[in-house]
Chain A
Amino acid sequence: MTDALAMAARRSARVGPPLGAPIGPPIGAPIAATDEPAWVRRTVIGVAIGFVGLFVLVPLAAVVVEALRAGLAAYGRAIAEPAALSAVKLTFLASAIAVPLNVVFGVAAAWAIARFRFPGRSILITLIDLPLAVSPVIAGMVYLLLFGRQGLLGPWLTDHGIKVVFALPGIVLATTFVTFPFVARELIPLMESQGAEEEEAAIVLGATGWQTFVRVTLPKIKWGLWYGIVLCTARAMGEFGAVSVVSGHIRGRTATLPLHVEILYNEYEYQAAFAVASLLVVLALASLVARRVIARRVEVI
Chain B
Amino acid sequence: MTIEVRGLSKKFGAFAALDNVSLDVPGGGLIALLGPSGSGKTTLLRLLAGLERPDAGSAWIDGVDLASQSARQRNVGLVFQHYALFRHLDVYENIAFALRVRKRPRAEVDARVRELLALIQLESFERRLPSQLSGGQRQRVALARALAARPRVLLLDEPFGALDAQVRAELRSWLRRLHDEIHLTTVFVTHDQDEAFEVADRVVVMNRGRIEQVGAPAEVFEHPANDFVMRFLGHVNVLEAELGDGRARIGDVTLAIDSAPGGPGRIYVRPHDVELARAPADGALAARVVRVTPLSSGLKVDLSVPALGSRLRADLDWERGAALGLRDGEDVFLSLRRARAFARPPSAAGEDTTADAA
Partners in one complex: yes
Known: A197-B80, A211-B101, A215-B101. A204 touches B49 (CB 8 A): yes
Residue of A nearest to B82 (CB): A197
Chain B residues within an 8 Å CB radius of A201 = 78, 80, 84-86, 145
Interface residue count on the A side (C-beta < 8 Å): 18
The distance in angstroms between the C-alpha atoms of A198 and B145, with both chains bound, is 12
Q: Which residues of B contact A204 (CB under 8 A)?
A: 49-51, 71-72, 74, 76-78
Q: What separation, in Å, do the CA atoms of A205 and B73 have in the docked complex?
A: 9
Distance in Å: Cβ of B25 to nearest Cβ of chain A: 18
By a CB distance below 8 angstroms, the chain A residues around B100 are 215
A206 to B84, CA, bound (A): 15
Is B75 interfacial (CB-CB < 8 Å)?
yes
Minimal beta-carbon separation of A203 from chain B (angstroms): 5
Least distance between B104 CB and chain A CB atoms (Å): 11
Question: A167 at interface (Cβ–Cβ under 8 A)?
Answer: no
Residue of A nearest to B155 (CB): A204
Interchain CB contact under 8 A, A203 and B71: yes
The one of A206, A219, A220 that contacts B101, using a Cβ cutoff of 8 Å: A206
A205 touches B88 (CB 8 A): no
Smallest Cβ-Cβ distance to B102: which chain A residue:
A206
Expressed in whole angstroms, the Cα–Cα distance for A215 and B100 within the complex equals 10
Neighbouring B residues of A135 by C-beta, 8 Å: none
Assembled-state Cα–Cα distance A263/B86 (Å)? 53
Contacting A at CB under 8 A, from B41-57, are 49-51
Binary CB contact string for chain A from 186 to 212 against chain B (1 if under 8 A, 0 otherwise): 000000000001101111111110010
Cβ of B117 under 8 Å from chain A: no
Give the CA-CA distance A200 to B71 in the complex, in Å: 9
Complex CA distance for A215 and B89, rounded to whole angstroms: 10
Tell me if A301 is interfacial: C-beta within 8 Å of chain B.
yes
Taking CB atoms and an 8 Å cut-off, the chain B residues in 29-66 that contact chain A are 49-51
Q: Are B84 and A207 in contact (CB under 8 A)?
A: no
Q: Does A280 contact B (CB under 8 A)?
A: no
Contact B101 A197 (CB under 8 A): no
Q: Are A205 and B97 in contact (CB under 8 A)?
A: yes
Provided the pairs A197-B82, A201-B80, A202-B97 are in contact, do residues A207 and B88 lie with their beta carbons within 8 angstroms?
A: no
Interface check A85, CB cutoff 8 A: no
Which residues of A lie under 8 Å from residue B102 when comparing CB positions? 206
B87 sits at the interface (CB 8 A): yes
Name B98's closest neighbour in chain A (CB-CB).
A205
The answer to whether the Cβ of B203 comes within 8 Å of any Cβ in the partner chain is: no
A145 on interface, CB distance cutoff 8 Å: no
C-alpha gap A230/B149 in the complex (Å) = 40
**Residue in chain B with minimal CB distance to A202:** B97
User: Does A216 count as interface, using CB distance less than 8 angstroms?
Assistant: yes
Given contacts A211-B101, A215-B101, contact A205 B149 (CB under 8 A): yes
A243 → chain B closest CB, angstroms: 38
| Contact A197-B88, Cβ < 8 Å, known A203-B71, A204-B72 | no
* In the complex with contacts A203-B72, A205-B149, A208-B101, A220-B88 CB distance below 8 A: yes
Question: Which residues of chain A are within 8 angstroms of B49 by Cβ–Cβ distance?
Answer: 204
Task: For residue A228, give the distance in angstroms from its CB to the closest CB of chain B.
Answer: 18
Nearest CB on A from B136, distance (A): 19
- Residues of the B chain whose Cβ atoms lie less than 8 Å from the Cβ of A198: 84-87
Question: A162 CB to closest chain B CB, in angstroms?
Answer: 44
Inter-chain contact B101/A200, CB cutoff 8 Å? no
Chain A 260-271 against B: per-residue CB contact (8 Å), 1 yes, 0 no?
000000000000
- Which residue of B87, B88, B89, B149 contacts A206 across the interface (Cβ within 8 Å)? B149
Contact A200 B149 (CB under 8 A): no
Of all chain A residues, the one with the shortest Cβ separation from B50 is: A204
Q: Shortest beta-carbon distance, B146 to chain A, in Å? A: 8
CB-CB nearest in chain A for B51 = A200
Residue among A201, A216, A301 facing the most chain B CB atoms (10 A cut-off)? A201
Bound together, the chains give a CA A199 to CA B49 distance in angstroms of 13
Q: How many angstroms from the CA of A203 to the CA of B69 in the assembled complex?
A: 12
Which residues on A sit within 8 Å (CB–CB) of B85? 198, 201
Q: Which residues from B are CB-within-8-Å of A206?
A: 72-73, 75, 98, 101-102, 149
Min C-beta distance of A199 to chain B, whole Å: 9
Docked-complex contact B72 and A301, CB < 8 angstroms: no
Contacts of A263-285 to chain B: CB distance below 8 A = none
Pick from A207, A215, A219, A222: contact of B72, CB below 8 A. Answer: A207
Tell me, in angstroms, the Cα distance from A203 to B101 when the chains sit together. Answer: 10
Binding site for B on A (CB under 8 A): 197-198, 200-208, 211, 215-216, 219-220, 222, 301
Provide 10 A-B residue pairs closer than 8 Å at the C-beta atoms, listed in order of the A residue: A197-B82, A197-B84, A201-B80, A203-B51, A204-B49, A204-B50, A206-B72, A208-B101, A215-B101, A222-B88
Task: Point out residues on B near A: beta carbons under 8 Å.
Answer: 49-51, 71-78, 80, 82, 84-89, 97-98, 100-102, 145-146, 148-149
Closest 6 CB pairs of A and B: A197-B84, A205-B98, A219-B88, A201-B84, A207-B101, A204-B78
Could you list 13 further interchain pairs (A-B, Cβ under 8 angstroms) beyond the known A206-B72, A206-B102?
A: A197-B82, A198-B86, A201-B84, A203-B72, A204-B78, A205-B101, A207-B72, A208-B72, A208-B101, A219-B86, A219-B88, A222-B88, A301-B88
